[in-house]
């Protein structure tokens, strides 16, 4: 899950919420301030296409680092 925001307290709260849903720290990536959301937003139109192909909305975008 990608997070973007200018409010550190809100980012902490959202991270805690994600943890309560079962997300582990390696699955949550803070991209920085709110302007970084612009980079992640184009992923949204991909979800309906994946739903059509996979038959499920349970889709994540993993990030691998070397």
Q: From first to last of its 66 residues, what are the pLDDT tens digits of the chain?
A: 899 999 999 999 999 999 999 999 988 999 999 999 999 999 889 989 999 999 998 888 888 887
Domain containing 26: what range? 2-54
Identify whether 62 is part of a domain. Answer: no
**HEC-encoded secondary structure of 1-66:** CEEECCCHHHHHHHHHHHHHCCCCHHHCEEEECHHHHHHHHHHCCHHHHHHHHHCCCCCCCCCCCC
Q: What pLDDT score does 59 carry? A: 85
Q: What pLDDT score does 58 carry? A: 87
Identify whether 31 is part of a domain. Answer: yes
Q: What pLDDT score does 57 carry? A: 86
Identify whether 64 is part of a domain. Answer: no
Count how many domains the chain has. Answer: 1
Identify whether 16 is part of a domain. Answer: yes
Identify whether 59 is part of a domain. Answer: no
Q: What pLDDT score does 63 carry? A: 82
């Amino acid at each position: 899950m990608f997070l973007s925001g200018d409010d550190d307290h809100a980012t902490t709260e959202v991270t805690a919420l994600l943890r309560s849903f079962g997300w582990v720290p390696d699955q949550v990536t803070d991209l920085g301030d709110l302007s970084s959301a612009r980079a992640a937003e184009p992923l949204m139109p991909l979800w309906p296409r994946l739903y059509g192909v996979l038959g499920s909305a349970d889709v994540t975008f993993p990030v691998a680092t070397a």
